[in-house]
């Protein structure tokens, strides 16, 4: 392995002569130009890692001949063009990383046989089209990262057949429609980021089944309706970001159960009623932002319990009364109250 050195220049073509090679790791170097076609001759390879270089080329289609590959990492280069259909031949593949490149086109629809996949990293490319139904056959998938592309259409329901998923990053795309209620089948999920799309309708109550969830990012969508009460029972949550939607109604009092929360961002919605005094029980909060709603009444004195706060923002609401004396820790609260 020659990773994390200062190797520069191109990958030599005669590397294809090393036919017994099992692992080829040249990650985190300064390699340029292209991946040689001869790489397809290394048919015994189990691990191939060229990530974090400056390779600028399309992905050679004959990588699909490396049918013993379990790990393929090409992340963080300057790769362009389409994802080769031939990658669908890599039936032993477990980890596939193509993130942070300039890949275009859609994900090939012939990946149904890649049933050993556990991690798929395609984030930060220019991949378009719909999320393929074939991903629903990856029953061993644990990590799915498709963030910051231009995927469109609905989130496929059969994606939630992959009940081993712990991380889903679909943020920064053009996905529309509802959040499928089948999401509640993913009981092992720990991080869910669907933000910065055009998802609409309400948050499904089945989300309450995701009791291992630590991060829930649904911000910058077109979600409506109320925050479901079931969110108050997701005791592992540390970050809850629902800002810039059209959510309405009262802020549920039972959010006070989420004592591990460090971030609660509800700004830019249509919440009304009083700020629940129970929010003062969230003693680990570092960032609380309720800006740009129609909240009324006074600031509850229990907010003074939140001594770990770095940011406290209430401005552009309809709050009245005085700032509680209990807020005696450093905080520029006055500029947040209207």
pLDDT in tens, the chain (338 residues): 677 678 789 989 999 899 899 999 999 999 998 999 999 999 999 999 999 999 999 999 999 999 999 999 999 999 999 999 999 999 999 999 999 999 999 999 999 899 999 999 999 999 999 999 889 889 999 999 999 999 999 999 999 999 999 999 999 999 999 999 999 999 999 999 999 999 999 999 999 999 999 999 999 999 999 999 999 999 999 999 999 999 999 999 999 999 999 999 999 999 999 999 999 999 999 999 999 999 999 999 999 999 899 999 999 999 998 888 877 654 444 334 44
| Burial status of residue 19 (CB atoms within 10 A of its CB: 0-12, 13-18, 19 or more) | exposed
Shared domain for 172 and 320, answered yes or no, is yes
What pLDDT was estimated at residue 204? 97
Shared domain for 77 and 113, answered yes or no, is no
Shared domain for 177 and 133, answered yes or no, is yes
Task: Look up the pTM and report it.
Answer: 0.94
Q: Which of 65, 87, 109 is the last residue of a domain?
A: 87
Shared domain for 312 and 295, answered yes or no, is yes
Domain containing 46: what range? 1-87
Shared domain for 144 and 181, answered yes or no, is yes
Q: What CATH number corresponds to the domain at position 141?
A: 3.80.10.10
What pLDDT was estimated at residue 6? 81
Strand order in the sheet with 198-201: 80-82, 102-105, 126-129, 150-153, 174-177, 198-201, 222-225, 246-249, 270-274, 294-297, 318-319
CA distance 313 to 332: 9
Q: Which of 46, 72, 87 is the last residue of a domain?
A: 87
Shared domain for 14 and 51, answered yes or no, is yes
Q: Are 286 and 260 in contact (CB under 8 A)?
A: no
Structural domains of the chain, count: 2
The residue assigned the tokens 């994900």 is 107
Angle at 157 between CA 155 and CA 158, to 5 degrees: 120
Q: Which of 87, 109, 138 is the last residue of a domain?
A: 87
Shared domain for 202 and 219, answered yes or no, is yes
CA distance 37 to 311: 53
Shared domain for 189 and 45, answered yes or no, is no
What tokens were used for 99?
A: 């993130």
Nearest to 209 by CA among 187, 179, 194, 241: 187
Shared domain for 177 and 193, answered yes or no, is yes
What pLDDT was estimated at residue 233? 94
């Amino acid at each position: 392995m020659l990773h994390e050195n200062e190797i520069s220049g191109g990958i030599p073509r005669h590397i294809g002569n090393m036919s017994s090679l099992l692992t080829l790791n040249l990650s985190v170097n300064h390699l340029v130009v292209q991946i040689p076609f001869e790489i397809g001759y290394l048919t015994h390879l189990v691990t191939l890692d060229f990530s974090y270089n400056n390779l600028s080329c399309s992905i050679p289609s004959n990588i699909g001949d490396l049918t013993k590959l379990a790990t393929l990492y090409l992340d963080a280069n300057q790769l362009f063009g389409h994802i080769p259909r031939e990658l669908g031949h890599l039936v032993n593949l477990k980890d596939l990383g193509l993130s942070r490149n300039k890949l275009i086109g859609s994900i090939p629809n012939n990946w149904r046989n890649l049933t050993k996949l556990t991690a798929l990293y395609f984030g930060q490319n220019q991949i378009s089209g719909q999320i393929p139904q074939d991903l629903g056959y990856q029953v061993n998938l644990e990590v799915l990262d498709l963030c910051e592309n231009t995927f469109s259409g609905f989130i496929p329901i059969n994606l939630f057949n992959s009940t081993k998923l712990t991380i889903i990053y679909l943020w920064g795309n053009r996905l529309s429609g509802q959040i499928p209620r089948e999401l509640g089948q993913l009981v092992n999920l720990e991080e869910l980021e669907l933000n910065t799309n055009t998802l609409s309708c309400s948050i499904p109550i089945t989300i309450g089944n995701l009791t291992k969830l630590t991060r829930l990012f649904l911000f910058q969508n077109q979600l409506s309706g109320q925050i479901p009460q079931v969110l108050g029972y997701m005791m592992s949550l540390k970050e809850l970001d629902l800002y810039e939607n059209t959510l309405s109604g009262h802020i549920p009092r039972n959010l006070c159960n989420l004592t591990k929360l460090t971030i609660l961002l509800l700004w830019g919605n249509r919440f009304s009623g009083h700020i629940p005094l129970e929010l003062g029980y969230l003693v680990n909060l570092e960032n609380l932002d309720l800006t740009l709603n129609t909240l009324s009444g006074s600031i509850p004195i229990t907010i003074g319990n939140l001594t770990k706060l770095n940011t406290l923002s209430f401005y552009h609401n309809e709050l009245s009364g005085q700032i509680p004396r209990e807020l005696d820790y450093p905080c520029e609260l006055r500029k947040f109250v209207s």
